Structure 1
Amino acid sequence: METTPHDNADVHDVIVVGAGPVGQTVLERARAAGLSVALVERELVGGECSYWACIPSKALLRPVVAVADARRVEGASAAVTGTVDPRGAFARRDRVVADWNDSGQADNMTALGATLVRGHGRLVGERRVAVEGPDGAQHMTEARHAVVVCTGSGAFVPDLPGIEEARPWNNRRATDSEQVPGSLVVIGGGGVAVEMASAWQGLGARVTLLARGSALLSRMEPFVGEEVAHGLAESGVDVRTNTDVVSLSRPDPDGPVTVRLAGGAELEADEVLFATGRTPHTDDIGLDTVGLAPGTWLDIDDACRVRGVDGGWLYAAGDVNHHALLTHQGKYQARIAGEAIGALARGESLDTAVWGAHATTADFQAVPQVFFCDPEAASVGLTAAEAERAGHRTKVVDVDMGAVPGAYLYADGYRGRARMVVDLDGHHLLGVTFVGPGVAELLHSATVAVAGGITMDRLWHAVPCFPTISEVWLHLMKAYRD
């Protein structure tokens, strides 16, 4: 159903609010379907991932991990005579984020045929978005077919006593800083926390990691958190679990931060980083004008259409729908949403005959994730505990990766572990987890196996090359069959 334009609004087939990787992917798919697109962005084209998250964090981590890898190889270790140069690491980080200049990405979007509208976009009713430009001017846009919300998420910082006075870092400050603090307290036990603890310890800070729970990376297999905690401690990070922060203070704006813990203990550090979760950027995008609550995660169907909005014209892809707060998963959702919008614009129906092409099945069956700490942690699909809770009859297979020739050639004294969770009724993989140096590049093979439902009998004939770390698959398969 199309709208009749009014109020001198600029009309496009699709309006995408948010020009990060997710919004850009919606644009690409919509343009491939022959639809016109307005792309609205209030900050930098490229979004959080390009400038303050995935890209700069990995750029900072890479020299740290490269040096750690070299130190684990006899012969190479003798060549490592110094420490990571923070200035060089920061310069490399600045290059990969183009010095926070988005002109290149903006040009790429307009080259695809998008109309780029800079400013804060807000819904103002059905299929309509008002954009407040940097100069305060209002620009009205209207969509013939769909509006897609791709506004992402921001760092959640708890409302603790003294939080404003302490001026804590969030993920943005942790990735765009130009100075190495003498000491840094990282609060959190998830991916951002362990990655930034690895990075800043390697760059020269004295890092203390405080996790509220009993384990790090608690959504992965339990052994992952154990190995990551061991690796962090080995690098010099003071890792403390089961630790609650109750307040902070920084009476001198130029002085240290005092972190008070439950039980009365105190820590002092030059800076404090909160890595305690995310909150959706939906508080000021006009959700109330279409009957939704501002500041909430958006509930979507399998084609990324927002539930509770009549007409099926409003979509949400990426972090805002809370399915999986990962850039690659958001881009996957964007591909699904873009294809669905194109199909409906052509007059097709998203009925059972074509639904499979327009359903975000991987959001529930095969979500891959990697944390680039030292050691790396990678997983896809269900953990053993999740599979059991879901009612699957399973066999869990564990392998010591240090016994794989490719692994012990990669690093002397290689520490790592692999697990696969097998459905005994369907004889296929439900989940796979790796932890150890260099395991990130193993994950896509596991993702293909899980998403494709490849049977164990067939997987037995997928021969890994010798001597690579990927030969862990052979060890896993042998252990399963024995």
Structure 2
Amino acid sequence: MSSAGENTYDVIVLGGGSTGENVADIVVKGGLSAVIVEAELVGGDCSYWACIPSKALLRGPEVLGEARAVRGAKEAVTGQLDVQETLARRSWFTGDGDDAGQVKWVEGAGIALVRGTGRFDGEKTVVVTGTDGTETRLTARHAVAVCTGSSAAIPPIDGLREISPWTPREATSVKEVPGRLVIVGGGVVGCEMATAYAALGSTVTVIEMADRLLPPFEPKAGEAVAASLKDKGVDVRTGVAVTAARREDGEVVITTDSGEVRGDEVLVAVGRRARTTEIGVEAFGLEPGRYLEVDESLQVKGVPWMYAVGDVNGRKLLTHMGKYQARQAGAAIVARARGEEVSLADWSPFVATADHVATPSVVFTDPQVATVGRTAAEAEKAGLGHRVVEYEIGWTAGASLFADGYQGTAIAVVDPDREVLLGVTLIGPAVGEMIHTATVAIVGEVPLSRLWHAVPSFPTMSEIWLRLLETYRG
């Protein structure tokens, strides 16, 4: 192998996904120099294989559903979803796998970029091996931020790995839609892809080991999504375990504890694993293949110059939370480089407090599921006093105008002693655009007495906040 030289920067960022880009951007804006090391596409999974392409696949069916839910508009819908145009729109959003636009942004932000696979070679030192075998040695003055993310987990099921199953990457980048798709896993990815592929024309089967879909969410969320998928012709099987897999005469055969399921392809959507196997963390007493344990400022425990940001620390595997962590970690890196004190107190500009109590997420199924904070079960487990308040969103004027026969539920988990929101779940069409209101209320610990003065515009679905308060007050 030849050497392309040695370079020194204030901060080395391993991984050029959205998290790594944000860490580098923050530290450069803080007056430090930064280099991103990326072996694949700059922009990472979110841009090319996850959030962006999956939502592009889901948006067309969602628009058609909204039009068909309004009399006068539904009569104008005379055709079906155009599958090839839907796939083409998805490809446009991902740049057909070309990251030139992201690279241009990186360069314009004053961030250096080194293409290749990075591996630690001593304290604050990384050796990057390019595709041509050339090695570049990088040294950091202050910090190395590990932002290598996560990859799809393939469980140790007999024969599963051997049949080359789809992961979310294949599901979102497909060129041809399979006639039959078996999805193993009924979490967020499984439910979203079941929604998308049913609309694209596949016959879909979802297999989930838990007794309901979307297990971590409020039970009504999984129940609503399961009912909708069944209405779309999806075979939803909960409480079922996969025991083996094989290919037979061109078919995928999935063996479960309640019989066989056959399809043309199988998507495995059962979780993620940390991308820490090949980066050399064992040299610092860390275990390869495991999530890196961090303190509140995302500093790796026991290795003060190393930060683990985003999926790689296993705290909250969501793009927006990775970006949030990047902002907090970047601020901490800059402050420490200047010799300033970094407070680890709650809601400090250097800590990821929202990871624990105020993480929002949206599941882009039909209906959508939007949630932030704690569920009732999580509040119970944490030993928090709580009261659950529910209201049918369709009873508001805004929802009834949005869609004829609107079906949806709002669930609020309230701390009755402090009278603040602990968590909110919204289930229904277009609820994802309303969840940030609850996020602000939870982060700010806004008393319900003050929320009475946050008057929702009429007639909008935001009227649900007033109805929840009225229900709580009784």
Counterpart amino acid of 2:269? A
Could you tell me which of 225, 231, 251 is aligned with 1:256?
A: 251
Query: In the alignment, which residue of structure 2 is the partner of 1:75?
Result: 72
CA contact (8 A) 1:394 1:421 kept: yes
1:357 is paired with a residue of what secondary structure?
coil
Q: Decide whether aligned partners of structure 1 residues 352 and 446 sit closer, same or farther in structure 2, where only a CA change above 3 A counts.
A: closer
1:250 is paired with a residue of what secondary structure?
strand
Q: CA deviation at 1:166?
A: 2.2
Query: In the alignment, which residue of structure 1 is the partner of 2:286?
Result: 292
Q: Decide whether aligned partners of structure 1 residues 217 and 287 sit closer, same or farther in structure 2, where only a CA change above 3 A counts.
A: same
In structure 2, C-alpha distance between the alignment counterparts of 1:383 and 1:251, rounded to whole Å? 43
Query: In the alignment, which residue of structure 2 is the partner of 1:122?
Result: 119
RMSD (Å) for aligned C-alpha atoms:
1.4
Counterpart amino acid of 1:57? S
Identity of aligned residues (%): 50
In structure 1, C-alpha distance between the alignment counterparts of 2:187 and 2:34, rounded to whole Å? 36
Q: Is 1:42 the equivalent of 2:34?
A: no
Could you tell me which of 432, 437, 452 is aligned with 2:444?
A: 452
Q: CA deviation at 1:320?
A: 0.6
Q: TM-score, normalised by structure 2?
A: 0.97
Counterpart amino acid of 1:110? E
Counterpart amino acid of 2:457? C
Query: In the alignment, which residue of structure 1 is the partner of 2:349?
Result: 357
Query: In the alignment, which residue of structure 2 is the partner of 1:439?
Result: 431
In structure 2, C-alpha distance between the alignment counterparts of 1:70 and 1:207, rounded to whole Å? 24
State how many pairs are aligned: 471
Structural mapping, 1:48-447, within 5 Å: 48-252=45-249, 255-263=250-258, 265-309=259-303, 312-351=304-343, 356-447=348-439
In structure 1, C-alpha distance between the alignment counterparts of 2:236 and 2:57, rounded to whole Å? 21
Q: Decide whether aligned partners of structure 1 residues 381 and 292 sit closer, same or farther in structure 2, where only a CA change above 3 A counts.
A: same
Q: Decide whether aligned partners of structure 1 residues 139 and 269 sit closer, same or farther in structure 2, where only a CA change above 3 A counts.
A: same
Counterpart amino acid of 2:112? T
Counterpart amino acid of 1:249? R
CA contact (8 A) 2:25 2:111 kept: no
Specify every segment of 5 or more residues in structure 1 that has no aligned partner in the other structure, as ranges. Answer: 1-6
Q: CA deviation at 1:342?
A: 0.5
Q: CA deviation at 1:96?
A: 0.5
Counterpart amino acid of 1:333? Q
Q: CA deviation at 1:161?
A: 1.8
In structure 1, C-alpha distance between the alignment counterparts of 2:345 and 2:351, rounded to whole Å? 12
1:9 is paired with a residue of what secondary structure?
strand
Counterpart amino acid of 1:243? V
CA contact (8 A) 1:165 1:251 kept: no
1:250-278 C-alpha deviation (Å, 9 max, x unpaired): 134xx111111114x11211111110100
Q: CA deviation at 1:165?
A: 3.8
Query: In the alignment, which residue of structure 2 is the partner of 1:4?
Result: none
Q: Decide whether aligned partners of structure 1 residues 107 and 162 sit closer, same or farther in structure 2, where only a CA change above 3 A counts.
A: same
In structure 1, C-alpha distance between the alignment counterparts of 2:10 and 2:316, rounded to whole Å? 28
Specify every segment of 5 or more residues in structure 2 that has no aligned partner in the other structure, as ranges. Answer: none
Q: Decide whether aligned partners of structure 1 residues 349 and 110 sit closer, same or farther in structure 2, where only a CA change above 3 A counts.
A: same
In structure 1, C-alpha distance between the alignment counterparts of 2:64 and 2:347, rounded to whole Å? 48
Counterpart amino acid of 2:311? D
Q: Decide whether aligned partners of structure 1 residues 346 and 72 sit closer, same or farther in structure 2, where only a CA change above 3 A counts.
A: same
Q: Decide whether aligned partners of structure 1 residues 249 and 421 sit closer, same or farther in structure 2, where only a CA change above 3 A counts.
A: same
Q: CA deviation at 1:355?
A: 7.8
Counterpart amino acid of 1:259? I
1:214-251 C-alpha deviation (Å, 9 max, x unpaired): 01111111111111111111122111111111111113
In structure 2, C-alpha distance between the alignment counterparts of 1:353 and 1:25, rounded to whole Å? 23
Q: CA deviation at 1:70?
A: 1.6
Q: CA deviation at 1:398?
A: 0.4
In structure 1, C-alpha distance between the alignment counterparts of 2:459 and 2:231, rounded to whole Å? 27
Counterpart amino acid of 2:361? Q
Q: CA deviation at 1:433?
A: 0.5
Q: CA deviation at 1:354?
A: 10
2:212 is paired with a residue of what secondary structure?
coil
In structure 2, C-alpha distance between the alignment counterparts of 1:99 and 1:64, rounded to whole Å? 21
2:148 is paired with a residue of what secondary structure?
coil
CA contact (8 A) 1:292 1:308 kept: no
In structure 2, C-alpha distance between the alignment counterparts of 1:8 and 1:181, rounded to whole Å? 48
CA contact (8 A) 2:346 2:353 kept: no
1:301-354 C-alpha deviation (Å, 9 max, x unpaired): 000000122xx1000110011111000001000000000001011110224689
Q: TM-score, normalised by structure 1?
A: 0.96
1:90-145 C-alpha deviation (Å, 9 max, x unpaired): 11001101111001101110111111000001111210111001111111000000
In structure 1, C-alpha distance between the alignment counterparts of 2:108 and 2:5, rounded to whole Å? 26
Q: Decide whether aligned partners of structure 1 residues 162 and 396 sit closer, same or farther in structure 2, where only a CA change above 3 A counts.
A: same
Counterpart amino acid of 1:262? D
